[in-house]
Amino acid sequence: MEESALQHLDELYASLPENSRRHSRRTGQYMRIILRQMGFDQLEEDMLWGDDSPFDYHDIGKIKLPPSLLQQRWLYSHEEQLRAMAHVDYGGQIFDTLEAEAGEDANKAFFATAWQIAMFHHENFDGTGYPDGLKGEAIPFYARVCAVANAYDGLRNGFGIFAPRAPEAAIDKMSQKSGTWFDPSIVMALKRWVSLSPDAKTIHEPAPIH
> By mean pLDDT, which of 113-122, 159-168, 182-191 is the weakest?
159-168
Tens of pLDDT, residue by residue over 22-69, are 999 999 999 999 999 999 988 999 999 999 999 999 999 999 999 888
- Domains defined for the chain, CATH in brackets: 2-202 (1.10.3210.10)
Q: How confident is the model at residue 207 (pLDDT cuts 50, 70, 90)?
A: very low
DSSP the chain: -HHHHHHHHHHHHHTS-HHHHHHHHHHHHHHHHHHHHHT-GGGGGGG-BTTB-GGG-TTGGGGGS-HHHHT--SPPPHHHHHHHHTHHHHHHHHHHHHHHHH-TTS-HHHHHHHHHHHHHTT--TTS--SSS---GGGS-HHHHHHHHHHHHHHHHH-BTTBPP--HHHHHHHHHTTBTTTB-HHHHHHHHHHHHH-THHHH-SSPPP--
